[in-house]
Amino acid sequence: AVLVSGETGVGKELVAKAVHTLSGLKGDYVSINIAGLDDQMFSDTLFGHRRGSFTGAFNDRDGLIMKAANGTIFLDEIGDLNELSQIKLLRLLQENEYYQLGSDIPLRSSARLVVATNKNLWHCMSTGKFRKDLYYRLCTHQVEIPPLRNRTGDIPLLFNHFIIQS
Contact 92, 53 (CB under 8 A): no
Percentage with pLDDT > 70 across the chain:
100
How much is the pLDDT for 92?
Answer: 95
Helix residue ranges, H only, 68-139: 83-95, 121-126, 132-138
pTM of the complete model: 0.89
Contact 43, 82 (CB under 8 A): no
How much is the pLDDT for 159?
Answer: 87
For residue 129, name the pLDDT band (cuts at 50, 70, 90). very high
pLDDT digits (tens, 9 = 90+) for 37-57: 999 999 999 999 878 788 787
How much is the pLDDT for 165?
Answer: 82
